[in-house]
Structure 1
Amino acid sequence: MDLSSISAAVVPLHLRSCLIYRQEKLIFEHYRHQQVEYELTKINSCTKSFLSALICIAMDQGLFPPPDTKLSECVPMLDKEKDDWRKDITLRHLLTMSGGWRWKEFGGINSFPQMTRSQDWVAFALEQPMATPPGEVMEYNSGSSQILSQLLVQAIGGSLVSFAETYLFGPLGINDYHWEQDPQGIHTGGFGLSLRPADLLNFGRLYLQQGQWENRQLISSELAVHSVQPAIRVTAPWSGSYAWHWWCDSFEGDGKPSFDYFYARGYGGQFIYVIPSLETVVVLTDDRRKRERPPVDVFPRLIAPHL
C-alpha cells in the first residue's frame, strides 16, 4: 500500500475525516482538525446500513420475519388496497429497494422531501402508486427504509435504539450518538443517525469480520455475508449493484489489481468501504456545502489505486 500517495491525494481535499484500517491495524488517520475525532456527525444514508445490521440481528433472534415474507402479512392494510403489484412486495424487495413504487428520491416528483413533510411517513411511502413489478428495478427509496424501521420496531416490541444499544452499539463501543425520529416516534431508517468517524470504522470492521466482534458473533456470519452480496443491478447515475441497504461495486484500474468491495453511502460525502480481499476498511466523512465538496469518487479515483 502506498500511504504517501494516499496522503498526498487526500489531505489537500480537506475532508472532515479519512480513516484506513488494514490487517487489524489503523494505518492512516486524517482529520480536518483535532476535534473531529470526538464530534458526532450526520452520516445521512449510511444510516440505512445500520438499519440493515439491526434487521439481520433481529432475524438471527427469530424476531424479524424471513426476507421472502410478503409485506401484506406485516401490514394488513395492503390487503385492502386495489389489486395491483403491491401485494407481491416482500421484505427482501424493501431491503434491496426494488419494491416497484413510483418514487424519485430527489428531483422529478421529489418523493423524499414530500415524505418528510407528511404527517405519517410510512403511510405516505406505502400509498405511492406502483410503477414496476416488485423485484425488477432498483429505485432508491428512503420510504422503504422507514417502512422497514417501523416493521423492526413492531418485531422487537420496543425501542429501536434500546435494541441497538444492547446488540450493536454497546458491543461496538458506541456510547454517544443521536438518532432522529419521524412524527410517530419511529427512528429514521434511511437517514438521521449521527456518529463519530471511529464508530463508522468499527461498524465496517464488524462486516469485514463477517459479523464477529471481540470473539462474539453479533450478526450470524451467514447473514453478515449474504446481506452485502450484490442482489440487483443499479442504473445510472449509480454503478454496480445493491444489496440489503448496502452498495456493491468493483475496482478495475488500468494496470492495477482489481477487487470487489461493498459500502455504505450517505449524502454529502459519508462513506464506509469494506474490501474483504484486502482486509481493509476505509471511512470518509465530510460536512461542507455542495459547491465546496470534492467529487464523490474520492475512493475509486484517489484511494483504491494505491491499496
Structure 2
Amino acid sequence: MPGAPQSEVQDQATSLNRPFIDNMNGQGSWSESFWNRFLNNGGDQALSDGSHTLKMEIRPYVKTETVKAGEVIASGSLKLNVVRNPKIDISNIVLNKILPYNGFSISKEKYDTEKIKFLKGSIDEGIFKKINSIVVIKNSGILIEEYFNGENRATLHDPRSVGKSFTSTLMGQAIADGYIKDESEPLKAFYQLDQFKNFSTTKEQITIKDLLTMSSGFDGNDEDSYSPGNEENMYPASDWVKFALDLPFQEKLNHRWHYFTAGVVVLGDIINKSVPNGLKKYADEKLFKPLGIKHYEWQYTPQGVPNTAGGIRMNALDFAKYGQLYKNKGIWNKKQILAKNWINSTFTKQNQITGRKDEYYGYLFWNKRYKSNRKLYEAYYCAGNGGNYILIFKDQPLVIVITASAYGQPYAHSQVDKMVQEFILPAVMGNK
C-alpha cells in the first residue's frame, strides 16, 4: 500500500484502519502521504485558484510489470478552497542581523535583500514547508543567516544522509595518515567474509571505492522497497555491519550506481577499526577540532559506533564550515586539514546517477547543475532526507546550507531546488 511506512505493512497486512485526518494522535502522516502523492502526480498543476472537489478512491492492486487495479472498496471527497499565491508584504519582514562566528568573517557583499525577504515570507506562509535554516557563505564570509520554526544559531540539526559525506572525509584522512592503504583496498583486507552469509570471492573483491561511489555488487538498493539490502530492513537488525556483509552479490548491480546506505555503515566500521581510539575520537581530533566545531552529536549503531550513514548533528554554521573546507581545497586557517588530492577524487564524476540526466556521484558527494535566469551553476553537494543540503559551488565563491525537516515528503528536495534557483542564486549572484 503506497504510504504505508513499513514494507511488512505494504506486503502482509490485510486489515488497515487509519483515520483520514488525525494529527493530534500522530496518524496524520497517512493523509499527508496521500496528499503529497496527489500533488506530485499532476495535482499541483490541476489546482488553480478557487473551489475544487478532491475525491479519493481506494482500490486493491497488484504491481508486476504493469499495475492491475480492482474495484473501488472505499471512497470519499473533500471541498478545497485554493489560494495559490498568498500576498506577501515584505515591508514587515526583517532579515536577521549577522553576528560574529568563530571561523567566519561577516560578509560585506551586497545582495538583493528584497528577494531574500520574499523567500523568508514564503517560508513563513508555508509555501516552502518545514525549512529550518538558510546560511549563505560568500567569499568566506557570512552573507545570509536565517532561521525558522523556532530554530536558532545554536540548534543542532538532523540532516540525515548529509552525514554520509563526512564518512568520505574521514576515510580520506585515514588514508592520508596511513591507517588504510587506499580506496582500492578490498573488503577481504578487513573482514573474513567466509564467516558471513552468501560468501563469494567476488564479494571479497568489493573495494572501499565501490562503497564510496555507491556502485558495489551488494544486493542493496534503498530506492527499491523490495531490495534485501534496503535500509529499512537494516534498522531493526541487531548488527548493521553483519546485515550488510550477509547480503548476496548481484553482478547486475556491480559498478552501477545504486543508493546503498548499509554500505556506508561498513565504511564507518572499517574506519573505526583502523584508526587509533576509534572513529569518534579520530573525527574529533582530525576534523572537528581543527574547524573549531565543539557542539555536535553522533547517533550510534547497535554496536556503539558512530552512525556514518547519516547520524551527525550540528548547527547550520558548523555545517557551513564543513562545506567551506571543501571550497578551500582542504585548507582551514592556513592549514591543510584534508588532502587536496582526496577532494579532487571526491569531486570527480565517478558515476552517473541512475535515471537523472546530467547528475553524478563522487565519493559520497553528489553533483549537478542549477539553472538560474539562463545561467548554469555547477555544485558538489551533500544531501539528506527532508531537504537538507550543503552546496559547494564549483566556479562561484559560494557555499549554501539549507536544513529542513520535511522527512519522507516528496516535495522536500524539489522545493529546495526552487529556493536555490529562483531566490538564493539570483539574490546573491546579481542575476536579473
TM-score with structure 2 length normalisation?
A: 0.66
1:206-285 equivalence runs, <5 A: 206-236=325-355, 240-253=359-372, 255-256=374-375, 258-285=376-403
SS in 2 for 1:44: coil
1:122-172: CA deviation from partner (whole Å, max 9, x where unpaired): 111111122236752111111111000000011103221111111111111
Asked if the contact 1:89–1:134 (Cα under 8 Å) also holds between the matched residues in 2, the reply is: no
Query: 2:137 is paired with a residue of what secondary structure?
Result: strand
Are 2:295 and 2:314, in contact at CA under 8 Å, matched by a contact in 1? yes
Count of residue pairs brought into register by the alignment? 306
Q: Which sits farther off after the overlay, 131-140 or 64-73?
A: 131-140
Counterpart secondary structure, 1:16: strand
From 140, 147, 156, give the equivalent of 1:31: 147
1:227 CA displacement: 1.3
Q: 1:50 aligns with which of 162, 166, 187?
A: 166
Q: Residue by residue, what CA displacement relative to the aligned partner does 1:164-211 show, whole Å, maximum 9, x if unpaired?
A: 111111111211111011111111111111110011000000000010
Counterpart secondary structure, 1:128: coil
Q: Gaps spanning 5+ residues in structure 2: where?
A: 1-110, 125-130
- SS of alignment partner, residue 29 of structure 1: strand
One-letter amino acid of the counterpart of residue 125, structure 1 = A
One-letter amino acid of the structure 1 residue matched with residue 349 of structure 2: P
Q: Which residue of 2 aligns with 1:301?
A: 421
**Structure 1 stretches of 5 or more lacking a match?**
none
Residue 179 of structure 2 is matched in structure 1 by 63
Give the CA deviation at 1:253: 4.4
Asked if 1:96 corresponds to 2:223, the answer is no
For the 8 Å contact 1:231–1:243, the answer to whether it is kept is yes
Q: Which moved more, 1:125-134 or 1:150-159?
A: 125-134
> In structure 2, do the counterparts of structure 1 residues 237 and 36 end up closer, same or farther at CA, with 3 Å as the change threshold?
farther
Could you say which structure has the greater relative contact order, defined with CA pairs below 8 angstroms and 6 or more residues apart?
A: 1
Secondary structure in structure 2 of the residue aligned to 1:164: helix
User: Cα 1:287–1:154, aligned 2, differ >3 Å: closer, same or farther?
Assistant: same
Query: CA shift at 1:13, angstroms?
Result: 2.1
Asked if the contact 1:72–1:79 (Cα under 8 Å) also holds between the matched residues in 2, the reply is no
Q: Distance in 2 between matches of 1:107 and 1:253?
A: 32
Aligned pair partner of 1:87 in 198, 204, 211: 204
Q: Please tell me the residue identity of whatever aligns with 2:147.
A: Y
| Cα separation, 1, equivalents of 2:166 and 2:319 | 10
Give the share of equivalent positions with the same residue, in percent.
Answer: 23
Instruction: Specify the SS of the correspondent of 1:250.
Output: strand
Maintained 8 Å contact 1:197/1:285: yes
Moved more, 180-189 or 4-13: 4-13
Aligned to 1:76: 192
| RMSD of aligned Cα (Å) | 2.4
Partner of 1:41, secondary structure, is coil
TM-score, with normalisation over the residues of structure 1?
0.91
Q: Distance in 1 between matches of 2:154 and 2:323?
A: 18
Contact 2:387 2:416 in 1 (8 A): no
1:24 partner letter: S
Contact 2:218 2:254 in 1 (8 A): no
- Report the more deviating stretch, 116-125 or 283-292: 283-292
Taking the aligned partners of 1:294 and 1:97, their CA distance within structure 2 comes to 22
- Report the 3-state secondary structure (helix = DSSP H, G, I; strand = E; otherwise coil) of the residue aligned with 2:391: strand
Kindly indicate whether residue 269 of structure 2 is the aligned counterpart of residue 150 of structure 1. yes
Larger of the two Rg values belongs to structure:
2
2:290 corresponds to 1:180: no
1:81-131 CA-partner distances (Å, limit 9, x unpaired): 643531331110011011122223155226212111111101111111222
